């Protein structure tokens, strides 16, 4: 049964292999977030096995409030389009997103639109197709996304996919469109930062859309709430740089303030003291502000038990894979300072300043592996949400 302590519901969206292959993932996510006003609480990549596909196709025949003909159409679609590739036997990529909020299931249904698309403004009108011949026989069918039509179907579907989450989900490395043996193949971490999640908006989806120009593949995805401990480890290399970088800046600024206040020149040896004493302090403060931005906790005021808790702020962590992945993603992001980024880059379009700059990406193979070890994008966070609502 659904959780009776809240009026909220948990809804799901399965982004179909065809939609992902056509780089429409960002557009779908952006529309669901902005048009439903729901909270994106979890996401996970799947490479469905034949057993999961068969079980889901059977469930679609039996569950849901749709007409039996529509259920048959969806079931046949899943068997054809979700199943491993016939020629290679390799699985396809599917993304599941979970959305939470009041009347979530009905809102997701409204934005997704009917299975038989019309001429409106729904997800399926934009990204799907339904073509019949002169006799009414379906010639081509692509629903773009699959959703739960009511509470019972939503519960049954989530429990089914939850059972396969560890075996069929997580970090995808051997699918029909991912070949890790290509020369120059790399994987890199992208973190869409908390400033994009202050309220339901299309911004995260728009960023994914911009990154799709890389031609890379999304291998894993997770809604992540970084703890203070994780943030301090993640940004540890930046901390050292900040402590050194601030030395000369703070000395000159402090000397000017003192000169203006006391109408006296500050001797060189005093400036040297300011450099050594104040520089690292300012670097520490800027580092603390970065941690606060990512987690919602200000480290100096954070008690020990809160340091290991998941943060108050969330981000979307993704692993992209492909040839020269690191360079391609960083080029699309642009420089750390949005004001120096090229028009059309992620940081120019969505960034504000050096810290609030929309997204992070690994800058080297070594950094990617270090950061991935901290974030653990392959972690299963959909099952805790399924258990919360459906037991």
Q: Which two tokens stand for residue 56?
A: 């889901």
Q: What is the DSSP string of 311-331?
A: PSS-EEEEEEEEETHHHHHHH
Torsional class of 166: left (φ above 0), alpha (ψ -120 to 50), beta (otherwise):
alpha
Those residues whose C-beta lies under 8 Å from the C-beta of residue 142, and which sit 6 or more positions away, are 16, 18, 77, 81, 128, 129, 130
Those residues whose C-beta lies under 8 Å from the C-beta of residue 235, and which sit 6 or more positions away, are 287, 290, 291, 294
Q: Which two tokens stand for residue 306?
A: 């809160």
Q: Residue 79, Cβ neighbours under 10 Å: how many?
A: 16
Whether 360 is a known active-site residue: answer yes
Whether the Cβ atoms of residue 82 and residue 92 lie closer than 8 Å to each other: yes
**What's the CA gap between 49 and 91, in Å, rounded?**
7
3-state secondary structure of 282: helix
Q: Which two tokens stand for residue 110?
A: 């409204």
Q: Which two tokens stand for residue 129?
A: 């197709």
Those residues whose C-beta lies under 8 Å from the C-beta of residue 170, and which sit 6 or more positions away, are 44, 45, 220, 378, 379, 380
Whether the Cβ atoms of residue 379 and residue 223 lie closer than 8 Å to each other: no
Burial class from Cβ neighbours inside 10 Å (0-12, 13-18, 19+) for residue 257 reads: exposed
Whether the Cβ atoms of residue 123 and residue 99 lie closer than 8 Å to each other: no
3-state secondary structure of 179: strand
- Of 86, 224, 239, 360, which residue is the catalytic one? 360
So which residues are the catalytic ones?
360
């Amino acid at each position: 049964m659904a959780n009776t302590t809240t009026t909220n519901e948990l809804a799901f969206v399965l982004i179909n292999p065809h939609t992902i292959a056509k780089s429409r993932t960002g557009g779908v996510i952006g529309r669901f977030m902005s048009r439903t006003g729901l909270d994106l609480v979890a996401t996970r990549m799947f490479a469905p096995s034949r057993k999961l596909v068969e079980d889901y196709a059977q469930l679609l025949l039996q569950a849901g409030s749709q007409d039996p003909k529509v259920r048959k159409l969806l079931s046949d679609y899943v068997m054809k389009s979700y199943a491993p590739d016939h020629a290679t036997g390799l699985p396809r990529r599917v993304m599941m997103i979970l959305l939470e909020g009041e009347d979530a299931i009905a809102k997701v249904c409204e934005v997704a639109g009917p299975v038989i698309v019309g001429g409106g403004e729904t997800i399926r009108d934009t990204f799907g197709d339904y073509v019949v011949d002169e006799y009414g026989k379906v010639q081509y069918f692509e629903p773009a996304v699959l959703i739960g039509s009511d509470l019972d179907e939503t519960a049954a579907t989530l429990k089914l996919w939850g059972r396969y989450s560890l075996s069929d989900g997580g970090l995808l490395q051997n699918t029909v469109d991912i070949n890790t043996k290509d020369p120059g193949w790399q994987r890199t971490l992208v973190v869409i930062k908390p400033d994009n999640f202050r309220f339901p908006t299309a911004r995260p989806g728009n960023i994914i859309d911009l990154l799709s120009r890389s031609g890379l593949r999304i291998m894993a995805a997770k809604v992540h709430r970084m703890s203070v401990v994780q943030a301090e480890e993640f940004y540890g290399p930046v901390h050292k740089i900040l402590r050194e970088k601030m030395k000369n800046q703070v000395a000159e600024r402090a000397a000017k303030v003192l000169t203006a206040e006391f109408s006296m020149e500050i001797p060189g040896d005093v400036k040297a003291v300011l450099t050594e004493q104040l520089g690292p302090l300012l670097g520490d403060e800027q580092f603390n502000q970065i941690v606060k931005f990512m987690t919602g906790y200000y480290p100096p005021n954070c008690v020990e038990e809160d340091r290991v808790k998941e943060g108050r702020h969330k981000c979307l962590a993704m692993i992209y894979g492909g040839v020269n992945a690191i360079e391609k993603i960083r080029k699309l992001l642009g420089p750390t300072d949005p004001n120096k980024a090229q028009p059309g880059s992620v940081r120019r379009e969505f960034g504000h300043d050096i810290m609030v700059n929309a997204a992070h990406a690994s800058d080297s193979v070594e950094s990617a592996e270090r950061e991935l070890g901290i974030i653990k994008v392959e972690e299963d966070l959909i099952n805790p949400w399924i258990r919360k609502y459906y037991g």
